[in-house]
């Protein structure tokens, strides 16, 4: 595919804002960027900020991403080389359908989950593989940080440090403080559905399920400090267990403060996190969607958020070079992102930044032809080196250190 290319971005939240800003900063790759969302005023606000910061112009449109025909018509009108889906996970399949209908390549940052069921897995999107392959199109799934960078970290470790990975722990720490009594750092509806779901990890060739937030450990995160982290389920575990068959154990951990968990428990107890519709004053509403409407907008938290995030992989396995005679080696590959620096560059906090930048890089991999193929793919199926190089050059530098051993808890 020739570059610079034309990219159509769907969605106008904080992640989209970061991705579009970063695309505009790389016009040699992204020759034209078009932004569309249900609320065109949000698109226009992003386009205005992009023009003020970079001098680049972003074309905007209003679109209902649930409407396959309308989305297809927009794609036919603007004729992008690539559609980057930064809308809600509920809309993944409809946007994939629109891409198939119009012959357009596809990228997203989070896997599909049904609107009425708090369950997310790759099966729905993996089922599209043959259709994309037969159409000669490429779909790249999960090009955010986690999933996304965390999967690339794993394959980078395997390519350069470990012949095989026996255990893998993915650790996500947001050490930032936004000054709000209770707020989520990305879409509240998606965040709360994810946090309150049962935890699952992969061990001994099977999935082990435990109650949500029932396993807590303390870890000393680089540049952030000691934080409580909780065992959770996250979608990259599913794809990594499939594509790294030697894994004996894979787990995902995320940090939460006590105040956040206390608020969440109260909201659960009074039914505000439910996704089951109820009748209110003669109309049907979903409590969690109402809660989302009254909570602070994550895209607006950047100006007040201070502190850093630290996200990375701890992997243990057989070292590629065994000159020291060690049977196993443990390495920790991670990124630290500063909320205030992210805000200065793009007007968004680090949680949006750490997802939006990898979305831009994944799109660049496809437009430049570094990653190519026909079908539906996960991040760990490609050469990690060009992606890792772009992380270092575009705001998410990484570090690798050797540890004394795996996380054994």
- Pair (180, 314) in one structural domain: yes
- Pair (156, 221) in one structural domain: yes
**Domain end point (choices 119, 141, 163):** 141
Q: What is the pTM of this model?
A: 0.92
Q: Angle 14-24/40-54 helices, nearest 10 degrees? A: 40
Please list the residues that pair with 82 across neighbouring strands: 7, 105
User: What is the model's pLDDT at position 157?
Assistant: 98
At 152 the three-state DSSP class reads helix
- Pair (105, 217) in one structural domain: no
User: What is the model's pLDDT at position 2?
Assistant: 52
- Pair (133, 115) in one structural domain: yes
The answer to whether residue 336 is domain-embedded is: yes
The answer to whether residue 13 is domain-embedded is: yes
- Pair (315, 226) in one structural domain: yes
**Domain end point (choices 124, 141, 158):** 141
Going by the DSSP 8-state scheme, the letter that residue 395 receives in this structure is T
CA–CA distance, 284 with 113 (Å, rounded to integer): 21
- Pair (230, 302) in one structural domain: yes
User: What is the model's pLDDT at position 323?
Assistant: 47
Per-residue model confidence as pLDDT tens digits over 269-326: 888 888 889 888 889 988 888 887 887 776 677 677 899 999 999 999 999 876 455 6
Positions in the chain short of pLDDT 50: 1, 323
- Pair (199, 286) in one structural domain: yes
| DSSP class per residue in 197-211 | SPEEEEETTEEEEE-
- Number of domains comprising the chain: 2
- Pair (114, 156) in one structural domain: no
| CA separation, residue 340 to residues 175, 191, 260, 306 (Å) | 12, 22, 21, 6
- Pair (80, 196) in one structural domain: no
- Pair (128, 180) in one structural domain: no
- Pair (193, 75) in one structural domain: no
The CATH number of whichever domain residue 282 belongs to comes to: 3.30.360.10
Q: How far apart are the first and last CA of the chain?
A: 47
**Domain end point (choices 90, 123, 141):** 141
CA–CA distance, 239 with 382 (Å, rounded to integer): 13
Cβ atoms of 138 and 349 within 8 Å: the answer is: no
The answer to whether residue 367 is domain-embedded is: no
- Pair (180, 133) in one structural domain: no
The domain in which residue 196 lies consists of 149-346+397-403
The answer to whether residue 387 is domain-embedded is: no
The answer to whether residue 122 is domain-embedded is: yes
Cβ atoms of 83 and 104 within 8 Å: the answer is: yes
Q: Please state the φ and ψ torsions of residue 307, each to the nearest 5 degrees.
A: 110, -165
CA–CA distance, 42 with 35 (Å, rounded to integer): 10
At 65 the three-state DSSP class reads coil
The answer to whether residue 360 is domain-embedded is: no
The CATH number of whichever domain residue 112 belongs to comes to: 3.40.50.720
Per-residue model confidence as pLDDT tens digits over 9-45: 999 999 999 999 999 999 999 999 999 999 999 999 9
| DSSP class per residue in 11-30 | --SHHHHHHHHHHHT-TTTE
User: What is the model's pLDDT at position 1?
Assistant: 46
| DSSP class per residue in 245-303 | TT-SEEEEEEE--HHHHHHHHHHHHTTTT--S-EEETTEEE-HHHHHHHHSPPGGG-TT
């Amino acid at each position: 595919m020739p570059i610079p290319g034309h990219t159509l971005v769907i969605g106008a939240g904080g992640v989209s804002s970061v991705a579009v800003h970063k695309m505009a900063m790389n016009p040699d790759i992204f020759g034209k960027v078009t932004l569309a969302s249900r609320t065109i005023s949000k698109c226009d606000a992003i386009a205005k900020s992009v023009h003020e910061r970079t001098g680049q112009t972003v074309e905007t449109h209003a679109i209902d991403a649930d409407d396959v025909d309308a989305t297809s018509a927009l794609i036919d009108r603007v004729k992008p080389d690539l559609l980057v889906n930064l809308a809600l996970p509920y809309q993944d399949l409809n946007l994939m359908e629109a891409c198939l209908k119009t012959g357009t390549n596809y990228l997203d940052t989070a896997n599909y989950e049904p609107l009425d069921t708090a369950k997310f897995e790759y099966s729905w999107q993996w089922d599209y593989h043959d259709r994309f392959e037969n159409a000669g199109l490429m779909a790249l799934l999960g090009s955010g940080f986690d999933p996304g960078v965390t999967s690339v970290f794993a394959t980078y470790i395997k390519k350069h440090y470990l012949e095989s990975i026996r255990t893998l722990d993915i650790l996500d720490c947001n050490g930032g403080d936004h000054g709000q009594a209770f707020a989520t750092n990305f879409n509240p509806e998606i965040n709360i559905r994810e946090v309150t779901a049962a935890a699952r990890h992969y061990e001994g060739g099977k999935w082990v399920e435990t109650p949500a937030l029932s396993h807590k450990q303390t870890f000393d995160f680089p540049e952030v400090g000691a934080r409580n982290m909780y065992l959770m389920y996250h979608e990259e575990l599913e794809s990594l267990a499939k594509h790294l068959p030697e894994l004996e154990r894979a787990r995902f951990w995320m940090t939460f403060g006590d105040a956040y968990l206390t608020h969440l428990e109260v909201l659960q107890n009074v039914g505000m996190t439910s996704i089951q519709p109820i009748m209110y004053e003669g109309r049907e509403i979903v409590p969690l969607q109402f809660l989302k409407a009254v909570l602070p907008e994550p895209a607006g938290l950047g100006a007040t958020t201070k502190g850093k995030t630290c996200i990375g992989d701890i992997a243990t396995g057989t070292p590629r070079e065994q000159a020291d005679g060690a049977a196993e080696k443990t390495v920790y590959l991670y990124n630290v992102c500063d909320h205030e620096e992210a805000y200065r560059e793009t007007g968004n906090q680090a949680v949006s930044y750490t997802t939006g930048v990898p979305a831009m890089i994944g799109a660049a991999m496809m437009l430049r032809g570094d990653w190519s193929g026909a079908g539906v793919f996960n991040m760990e199926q490609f050469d990690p080196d060009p992606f890792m190089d772009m992380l270092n050059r575009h705001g998410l530098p990484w570090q690798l250190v050797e540890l004394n051993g795996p996380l054994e808890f």
